[in-house]
A = this chain, B = another copy of it.
Amino acid sequence: YNVAVLPGDGIGPDVVSAALRVLGAAGEAYGLRFAFSHLAFGGAAIDACGHPFPDEVRAAVAGADAVLLGAVGGPKWDALPRERRCETGLLNLRKHLGVYSNLRPVRVFEGLEGLSPLKSEVARGTDLLIVRELTGGIYFGKPSFNTPTEGVSTDRYTRGEVERIARVAFEAARTRSGRVTSVDKANVLDVSQFWRDVVVGVHESSYPDVTLDHLYVDNAAMQLVRDPRQFDVIVTANLFGDILSDLAAVIPGSLGLLPSASLGDGPGLFEPVHGSAPDLAGKGVANPVGTILSAAMMLRHSLDQGEAASAIEAAVQTALEEDPTTDLGGSRGTEAFTEAVLKALP
C-alpha cells in the first residue's frame, strides 16, 4: 500500500512516527506491505517553499492509497494572508481529495472517566460517531467576501452533497446501534430546511430500517453535554460539524485520544483531532493515541483491513489500561507508550 505521510508541524512528526511504527508492526503480523512517502505540508511546507500545500504534495496524495496527516499550524504562520495560511492548505487538501465525509468517533475509555470535565456518571460509556460534511456548506459557498463596509459568507448545499453524506451516516448506523440524529437549524435557516428534507428523503427511500431523528444545533450542543450517551451517529453540515465534533471531543477529557477519518471516492485522509501544540514538539511527551487510532481507521476504511485495525485498537486499549500516557496522569511518554502498544499486538 502506498501511504502519503504528511507529518506537518509541532508534535505532528512525533505522533506520526509513533503511528508508523505501529502500522509497520501490524503489517508484519497481517502480511501487509506499506510504502510510506514523507512530504512537507502546512507550516513546514511554507518554510520550505512558501506555500502550505505545494504542487508536489498535490500529485503525491492523489496517487496514494491513503494519506496520514499529523497536525498543522502554529503561531509562527498565523499572521500570513488567508490564502497562504496552514488552514487554507488543509481546506484545499480536503477539497483536492474530495473527502466529503469526516468521521469522528468519540469514546470514553473504561477507567478513564475521571479525565472528563463531565461528571463521571455522565461521561461513562459515551460511544458516538459524528459524521460531518466536509467539502460543502458555508466553508466553500460563493459569494464570500470582506470589504471595509460588510462581510458576507454563503451557506449552500446541493441535493447530491446532502444525499451522499446522509448515506454515509445511515451506512455507519447499520454497523452500530442503528440510530442517526441529523442536526440542523431548520426552524430558522432555509439551507437547513433543505438539508432536513433531503435527509428525510434518503431515509425513507433507502434506510427505513435505521431510526432517524432531528435536533436543532443549539439543542444538540446542550444534549451532548447533558447526556452524551443518548447519541449513536450524528450527521450534520460542515460548520455545525466543526463545532459539535470539537465539543464532543472534550468529553473523554483529552483531545490526544481521538482519531478522525475523512473519506470520499478516492484516497482517504486520516489525522488525529488534536492540534500541533508547538510547545510540546520534540519533547517525547505527545500522546500518540489519536494518530495510532487514525492509522487503524485508515486500515479499516481505505485499505479494507478491518482485522488489523481491530488488533491495533485492542492493543491501544490494553496499553491504556496498563498505564496511560503522561498527559492522562500515567507515567509513559510517546516512546514508552508506543512500545507498550507494539507489545500488545498479536
Contacts and interface: CB of A to CB of B under 8 A. Distances in A.
Contacts of A32: none
A194 interface: yes
Given A159-B150, A194-B150, A138 B189 contact: yes
Interface stretch (A20-28, A52-60, A239-247): A239-247
Interface string A137-165: 01101001111111111111111000000
Interface stretch (A6-14, A220-228, A327-335): A220-228
A189 B87 CA distance: 11
A191 B153 contact: yes
A74 to B, nearest CB: 13
A249 B190 CA distance: 26
A248 to B, nearest CB: 9
A204 interface: no
A119 B157 CA distance: 39
Interface in A225-239: 225-227, 239
B190 A145 contact: yes
B149 A159 contact: yes
Contacts of A139: 188-189
Contact of A151 (B187, B193, B245): B193
A195 interface: yes
A218 interface: yes
A158 B154 contact: no
Candidate in A148, A187, A227 with the most chain B CB atoms within 10 angstroms: A187
B158 A190 contact: no
A264 B126 CA distance: 42
A82 interface: yes
A218 B246 contact: yes
Contacts of A185: 239, 242
Contacts of A188: 87, 91, 139
A85 interface: yes
A304 B145 CA distance: 41
Contacts of A152: 141, 154-156, 190-191
Contacts of A221: 221, 243-244, 246-247
Contact of A155 (B138, B192, B249): B138
Contacts of A219: 246
Contacts of A244: 221
A117 interface: yes
A314 interface: no
A252 B110 CA distance: 27
10 contacts: A116-B119, A117-B122, A144-B189, A146-B194, A147-B194, A152-B191, A153-B155, A185-B242, A221-B244, A247-B247
Interface of A: 82, 85, 87, 91, 116-120, 122, 138-139, 141, 144-159, 185, 187-195, 197, 217-219, 221-222, 225-227, 239, 242-247, 249-250
* Top-3 shortest CB links A-B: A151-B194, A218-B246, A151-B191
